[in-house]
Amino acid sequence: MTPPGVDPARVVIEALRLDRWSPDEVEVRADRALELGVGGFILFGGEAEQVGRLVERLRNDAGRSLWIGADLERGAGQQVRGLSEFPPPAALAAHPYPEEAATTAGRTTAEEALSVGINWVIAPVLDLDAEPDNPIIATRSFGPDPGRVGELGGRWIEACQSTGAIACAKHFPGHGRTKDDSHIGLPTVDFPATLLEDDLAPFAAVSDRVGSMMVAHVSYPALGGGRAATVSPDIVSGLLRGRLGFEGIVSTDAMIMGGVGRDDAGAAVEALKAGCDLVCYPGDAGATINALERAAADPTFATRLEDAAGRADRVCPPGAMASRGGASHGGWESVAFACDTIVGDREVVRGWRPDVPTRVVGVSDDPDVGPPAGRAGPLGTIVADELRSAGWSICAGPEARQCVVVLAATPRSWKGRGAPSTRALNEARALVGSARRGIVVLLGHARWLETLGAPAICAWSTETVMERAAAAWLRAGTRP
C-alpha cells in the first residue's frame, strides 16, 4: 500500500490520440485516466474547438490543475488544426533575422496553445544537428553550433514562457549524434565525455530559465553507463540536477518508445529513482501506477515519489481557457515568414511561365506513412492549389511542359532513416527529367539538396505553411 500523502498517479501523463481514436474512444480513455488520478495528458491532433472543449471538460471533471501538453516544435498547428504552423527550428535558424524568428515562433506557439488549454509546450529541441544520418533530429534542431542552439532555443523558451505556459527543452543530454531512432530501439552515443560537452552546452545555457526538460531514451556510456539516460541516476540526478543545477520538472520521453524496452512500467519506476518527475505516455497508465505504488513500499522510493509528485503539483501552471482557439495568427503572415527561410536560387526558375501547362507531383520518401494530420489531399495538392489560384495553368496530363516535384523527406518517428530514400530520389529525378523544365521542392533538410542532382529549393518540412511558402516563392521567381 502506498504510504499516506504519496499519490503515484500524479506523476503519470496519459496520452489522448485525437489523431487516431474516435471521439467516443477519446472520451472513454480520458474518463479512465481521470478515475486513476493522472497528473495530466499529452494531446495529439484534433480541431481547435474540439481540443478546447475536451481540455475544459478534463479540468472541470478533475477539479484540480492538470498538465496538458503537446509536441509543438513547429507551432501549435503541428498538433491542433486551425492554429498556426511554423517552419521547423532549422528553418528559423536560416531566417535573415533568426533571433526575431525564434522569439515570434515561441510566443505565438504558446499563446495559441493556451487558447485551447494546453499549458505545457513540449518544445523546443535543443539537440545539435551533429550527425547527417540521424533519423529523428535533423530539421528539428536549430543547427550544429552549441552556442547558436542555446541562444535561439533560449529566445524561443523565454518568449514561450512569457505567456504563462511552460516550455520543455529536449532531449537531454542530447539526441543529435545518434544514428538510430529511439522510437525503435535504444541508441548508443559512444563518444568521449569531452566531446559531449558540446551537446550539453545548449541545455546548460537554459537550465536556469526553462520550466521543464525531457530526458532522452538514449545510452551515453561516457556519462552514465550502458542504460538509457531516462533511468540513469548519473545523468538525471548527477548531471542535470547536480552539475547543471536544474530545479524544474524532469520528464521522460514517451514510455511507449522502443528505447525504453518491453517493461515500460518497470522502467517508470527506474526513471523516478533516477530523478525524473513525470512519466510521459505510458503503454498502460494503470499498470504503471500499480508498479509505482508497489515500489513505494520502499521508504526511500516513497520519499522520491512524494518529492516528484509535490514538484509536479507546485509547478503545474493554470490553464486559462479564454478563447478556445481564437488566438490563431495564421494566414499569409505565416507564409511570408516561411518564405524567408527557403533556401534556393531564383535562377532555377528562369524561363518558367505561369501560362505554360504545369504538373505538380508529390513524392514521399516513406510511402507507408500517411500524410500529416489535417492535410487536404495528397502531397503537392497545396502547391498546386496555390499556383492555380494565382493563375497558373495546372494540369495532370502529358501536355505539361513544366513539372514541380514536391518531395517529402522529413524526420518521422519509427521511420529509421535520415537521408531521403534512393527510390524517392530516383523518382523525383525522373519526373524532373521528363519535363521541359522541372524543379524539386524539397520538404526536408537543406543538406540533401546536393544529392538530388536536379534543380531544387529547400522548404524544410511538410507543414502546410511550407508548401504554401514554396508556391509563393515560385510565383515570385517567375514574375517578369
**If we measure between CA atoms, which residue out of 113, 120, 89 comes closest to residue 251?**
120
Query: Which positions ≥6 away from 65 have C-beta within 8 Å?
Result: 59, 313, 316, 317, 318, 319
CB atoms closer than 10 angstroms to residue 184: 16
Largest CA distance in the chain: 77
- The reply to whether 129 belongs to the active site is no
- The reply to whether 253 belongs to the active site is yes
**If we measure between CA atoms, which residue out of 125, 119, 117 comes closest to residue 149?**
125
**If we measure between CA atoms, which residue out of 289, 293, 283 comes closest to residue 260?**
283
Question: To 5 degrees, how large is the angle CA 395–CA 398–CA 402?
Answer: 60
Q: Catalytic residue, from 7, 127, 180, 253: name it.
A: 253
> What is the spatial distance between Cα 110 and Cα 120, in angstroms, rounded to a whole number?
9
Determine the angle formed by the axes of helices 285-295 and 23-36, rounding to 10 degrees: 10
> What is the spatial distance between Cα 79 and Cα 188, in angstroms, rounded to a whole number?
30
Question: To 5 degrees, how large is the angle CA 111–CA 26–CA 293?
Answer: 95
Q: Catalytic residue, from 171, 183, 217, 329: name it.
A: 183
| Active site amino acids | 183, 253
